[in-house]
Amino acid sequence: MAEDRFLTPDEIAEILKVKTVTVRSWLNNEEHPLKGAKMGKLWRIEKEDLERYIENQKEGK
């Protein structure tokens, strides 16, 4: 159930055809960050947050 709700940076990189380091830079971007939760050293990103981030990028926000 929860595994369907969250994605890892590696999974996002695979979906969007970018490098994992790119996804991590989005997570650490102070001006327009991709929202995620850091659990220890591991990032988890809700699918809704990824979709919102993509829409914001399309709109130039």
What are the tens digits of pLDDT across the range 31-54?
889 999 999 999 999 999 999 999
SS3 of 10-55: the string is HHHHHHHCCCHHHHHHHHHCCCCCCCCEEECCEEEEEHHHHHHHHH
In the chain, the domains with their CATH numbers are 2-58 (1.10.1660)
What are the tens digits of pLDDT across the range 7-24?
999 999 999 999 999 999
Read off the tokens for 53: 């981030």
The H or E element spanning position 2 is: helix 2-5
Prediction pTM value: 0.85
